[in-house]
Amino acid sequence: MTLVGRLTKHPELKHTADGTPLLNATIAVNRTYRNAQGEIDTDFIYCVAWNRLAETTAKHCNKGSLIALLGTIQTRNYKDNDGQTIYVTEVLAHTIRFLSKKQFQPETVETAEVIQTVPLI
């Protein structure tokens, strides 16, 4: 499955008990059609990445970053504190491509307007 969308928040990088990197993220993916009101609906997809892919994604992406993700759907379940079974469907990422430039915050912002003229021949 291939998904293209924007991260809804900064990716969350965690480590398992044995030190394996794990990334949890949610991407907003627009549907390819309009609803009855003429609006484009958006799906919010939970995604998981492991190991080096998790570390690289956390390093290069922020909230709003546009990514393309290739992965498979997985369903898992667990018991919450009240003993109820919680089912989770998510995409297990195999490949993530960064489609937007890395956003960085420079310490000082200097804007200079440069107008360059080119002679017409």
pLDDT digits (tens, 9 = 90+) for 76-101: 999 999 999 999 999 999 999 999 87
- Is the predicted pLDDT of residue 42 greater than 90, yes or no? yes
Residue-range definition of the domain harbouring residue 68: 2-98
Query: What is this structure's pTM?
Result: 0.74
- Is the predicted pLDDT of residue 68 greater than 80, yes or no? yes
Residue 79 in domain = yes
In the chain, how many domains are there? 1
CATH number at residue 60: 2.40.50.140
Q: What is the mean pLDDT of the chain?
A: 86
pLDDT at 35: 85
Report the C-alpha gap between 40 and 23 in whole angstroms. 28
Residue 112 in domain = no
Residue 106 in domain = no
Closest by CA position to 11, among listed 77, 76, 80, 57: 57
pLDDT at 33: 87
Residue 119 in domain = no
